[in-house]
Amino acid sequence: MLLVYRYLINIFFPIIVILVIIRKWLAKEDQIRYKEKIFETSLNIIRNNNKKLIWFHVASIGELKSVIPLIKKLNEKNEFEFLITTVTVSSASLIKKDLLNEKNIIHRFFPIDKPSLVKKFLNGWNPFMTVFVDSEIWPNFILEIKKKNIPLILLNGRITKKTFSKWIKFKYSAEKIFQCFDLCLTSNTESKKFLEKLNVRNVKYIGNMKFTSENEFNNKENKNKAILNNYKFWCAVSTHREEDDFCLKTHLEIKKNHKNIITIIIPRHISRSKSIRLTCEKLNLKSQILSQNELIEPGKEIIIVNSYGETSNYLSFCKSVFIGKSMIKRLELVGGQNPIEAAKLGCKIYYGPYVYNFQEIYDLLTKFEVSEKVYNEKELSSKISADLNVDKRILDEKIGIIDDLGKKILNDTYLELNKILN
């Protein structure tokens, strides 16, 4: 399998180059630095050779958020230099914003897993330790790192049942890849069991790193907070197309008892804003697509947020939130979105029956009485209606429990990495 993979990477590499260039034309790649992904001559290796380099690879913004506190903690002693590689432009922007004041931080885009690029990258950067985050498994990189005897960590590793069923078909190759890791810290107990079935050594579960993420706030004052203080409102976030009717029908049910109710919908993909508004029109609901820095208009009952990075600004003073990608049967094996941010901001969280990707997190939050499963709009509307009549449902001590859990996971992870660094 590995030989086939390497052969296919080389064969299809010209096509991959063309696709990256097309994405650049479509403004989905950095207009200058896209070359870092595909050209050996554009790796742009600039570093302080007086310090050992720790390389973190994360795919996108969610994984990056989960490791930023760890990177900051490792950087406190000013002993190391850190290379962070990402795939998306949004993650690069987050590094500029959240790590702007940090020393020893370098960002590059992750190159294609082509053998010649891999060797050029590793020889140039010469990392002292490498950390792959979540489900980032790139065979050529992993095997070459092992060959160079560079300590390799899988952090917050996640293997779903669906993914494992594919790996197990090529068990020999899977074992060869995953056994290259010197330490695997999994995001849940299921992933730990799957790795152990592949005979991987030194696998531990100490908690999901996403509990350590820092809440992201827009520095600008949310002027809509003052407007919403005059109304009763709730939020539906990370919703998908199949959940639009569910959210709007929930609104109609709540409206029977709360005439001045406002529903704020923050879709997973803001490109769906117009289609949500069309659905509102069919149900005779007065809606507004709210762009950044716009104010909520009087008389609107459905607000569709049309900009990224606004979620925390609303959840910080919201009592109840429904988190999407959880009511869709066809997504049963990949369902759910991360609820930790909402929990840390003191919201009572509601979710549907399909949250496989985050089941352990939801189970834990349910144990803390922070989250609750719902099956239909009448059930959700009843619970939100009850929330509207009381103060913010989650008490400070419950937020404190979640924060303390995040601190413990961060500290335990830091200690595990230090064993290897020392």
Per-residue model confidence as pLDDT tens digits over 41-69: 888 888 888 899 999 999 888 889 999 99
219 has a pLDDT exceeding 50: no
Per-residue model confidence as pLDDT tens digits over 108-131: 999 999 999 999 999 999 999 999
Task: Identify the pLDDT of residue 395.
Answer: 61
- Cβ burial, residue 221 (10 Å; 0-12/13-18/19+): exposed
Please check whether residue 412 lies inside any domain of the structure.
no
Task: Identify the pLDDT of residue 92.
Answer: 86
Query: Do residues 141 and 267 both lie within one domain?
Result: no
Task: Identify the pLDDT of residue 205.
Answer: 96
408 has a pLDDT exceeding 80: yes
Please check whether residue 84 lies inside any domain of the structure.
yes
- pLDDT band for position 397 (50/70/90)? confident
216 has a pLDDT exceeding 70: no
Task: Identify the pLDDT of residue 396.
Answer: 66
Query: Do residues 125 and 246 both lie within one domain?
Result: no
Query: Do residues 142 and 231 both lie within one domain?
Result: no
Sorted by sequence, the CB contacts under 8 Å of residue 32 that are 6+ apart come out as none
Predicted TM-score (pTM) of this structure: 0.87
Query: Do residues 108 and 233 both lie within one domain?
Result: no
Query: Do residues 229 and 332 both lie within one domain?
Result: yes
Please check whether residue 353 lies inside any domain of the structure.
yes
Query: Do residues 385 and 242 both lie within one domain?
Result: yes
Task: Identify the pLDDT of residue 217.
Answer: 57
Domain count, the chain: 2
> Of 134, 157, 180, which marks where a domain is finished?
157
Mean pLDDT value across the chain: 91
Task: Identify the pLDDT of residue 102.
Answer: 85
Range of the domain at 33: 11-157
CATH code of the domain covering residue 115 = 3.40.50.11720
Query: Do residues 135 and 254 both lie within one domain?
Result: no
Query: Do residues 127 and 276 both lie within one domain?
Result: no
Query: Do residues 257 and 388 both lie within one domain?
Result: yes
Per-residue model confidence as pLDDT tens digits over 249-291: 999 999 999 988 999 999 999 889 999 999 999 999 999 999 8
CATH code of the domain covering residue 364 = 3.40.50.2000
Query: Do residues 383 and 235 both lie within one domain?
Result: yes
- pLDDT band for position 1 (50/70/90)? confident
Mean pLDDT, rounded, for 203-214: 93
Please check whether residue 179 lies inside any domain of the structure.
no
Please check whether residue 201 lies inside any domain of the structure.
no
Please check whether residue 97 lies inside any domain of the structure.
yes
